[in-house]
Structure 1
Amino acid sequence: MEIFKWLNDQLLRMDWLSALVRLLVEDVFGLDMAGRLGGSLHFFIYDVFKIFILLSVLIFAISWVQSYFPPERTRRILGGMRGLRANVTGALLGTVTPFCSCSSIPLFIGFTGSGLPLAVTFSFLISSPLVDLASVILLASIFNWSIAIAYVLVGIVLAVLGGTLIGRAKMENNVEAFVLHNKVLDLPQEQLTLRDRLNYAREQVAEVIQRVWLYVLIGVGIGAAIHNWIPEALITTLLGEERWWSVPLAVLVGVPMYADIFGTLPIAEALVAKGIGLGTALAFMMAVTALSLPSLIMLRKVVKPRLLALFFAIVVAGVMLIGFLFNTFAHLFV
């Protein structure tokens, strides 16, 4: 257990990096860590470097695995499944795809156009931006493994239930015609060499970093401001755990925003540090990643208003329920 704790502290939480940044802030910049400016600077530098280091390593490893499962192979695997098993597989597939909500929609179009049931494709669409392997590690590095694992489980359950409910609604006629007639090429899997897989993994790291770096900087900047500049009393008055409206308000604030989970994690970290309920912070994070306004606008081009409204209502209800449950049982994860 001591070895596991040491590995967790050094490899995930990166205590060594925190100590180095502390030296930089105090000895090089001459700032007091207990002060607002020093504390904010430490929070910003430490979180930015930690997120990018973990993100690069994890996306490389995940992409290496993904090189063995191109979209066509995945489509063939899912195509032979039906019922709950197919929904669970679709949700689990979403957990190994490091996509934001907008980036998941092209795959959703491809899967739907190839004839996969809506239940499966929507399970994928919900889980893909909400839960992925990289976010699990980052959650564990910021909070702990209990919270990370619980978040993954509820995210997968939400994806499976959401997809199942949409499938039961029989709304295939609410998908735009161009999606259903989208031709999918069925090419044999390319035999990739070791160099090909290395290049693919490296390219994926560069692509993901290029896509998320700005959101990470903005998210960490907001987190640093919340952590050191915004009075705790103001935050708890608006979003305090005892306020019944804290979870709905967090979801309402999160929906118009657009960011990857990597950009919202530092904000959730700062909110929890200020005494906000764990469920409120996670509900905000889930609303931003799964229900961002840009992704809803893109999805409207793919599905008709009735299906879009059903998807939105199911995910909002699920996210709020998860938020309330985490607030109620937060003591079990700390």
Structure 2
Amino acid sequence: MRSLSLLFLAFFSFTCFGQTIDKSYDKYDFVAGEKTLFEDNLTYKDGEKPLGKWGMEGKASIIDFEGQKCISIDEYYTKLTPVLFGARKMPDSLTIEYDTWLDAGYDGNPGIEILLLSDDSQVVITPNKHATSVNYPNDGHATKDNPAEYFGEDKFYNRWVHVSIAQYKKHLSVYIDQYKMIDIADCRLQPKSVMVTGNKSGKMNILLKNFRIGTYVPKKITFVGGKFITHAIKFDVNKYELKPESITVIREIVTYLKANPAEKLEIGGHTDTDGTPDYNMKLSQSRADAVLNQLAAMGIGKNRLVAKGYGQTKPIDPKPTPEAKATNRRVEFTKM
């Protein structure tokens, strides 16, 4: 049961629409895979094992931090292995996204690292306070200093940093927030699995949330039967504010509407079945409104747009599985 205070805050948020995405993301070009292979929104029912969607060595737990659930790394050299939906094999092309928090005081500890594994070979992706680096087979190494104005000595810590990784066959790209940091034409490995590692020290936090693995990266938006469905417009759990990495697909919608000035679109917000139907209806409406406001801020007339929240009433997949829930959390654009 949600507390009365949380319900009050949720109701209040539904009445005040959020700000548009910062213009510093104007050149961000990461495209998330539309098909979800793994996602953990950290909502577990009674009787379910916490972090049951992960294989684990070491120690990690789910905690409440700044009003949101996240994964806390609780032991030195903890390893988390996401179990793909349906135990699928890793595809040729994949995307990985997550938000990470590292307390100040870690100094050289990079916090969360991502390992792409294949038999005895690995690619190690390491965001750190000064630079982002990738080590890959046959002594391959790439590193790039973080932008000083954004990742200075004291700016990497005590805040959420978004990491986006794209691998198309053996072409690997790594983004830190809006910056494309690493681009390797051949990382010499096609991964068979993904691992998340972290080295806890003392009582300092290493945190993880919004972890997702996707595949099928669309080259451009396509309307099928007058509808375009996307999972690349992102929100935190139980929030309606657009996450800035949503800008890539929203920019494509803007391009489409400017090229087709007679077109009008309904923006449909859809949730999974976690939470009450009434709560989900309000949440989905606020999310649809947030997308409409962003499109309007980018030059699309509001007379061409309608925002409609559908909550959990129109699932694509009615099964109560994590994969179905990930499929049902979406935004739909429908021609009117």
Structure (1/2) with the larger strand percentage: 2
TM-score (norm 2): 0.27
Structure (1/2) with the larger helix percentage: 1
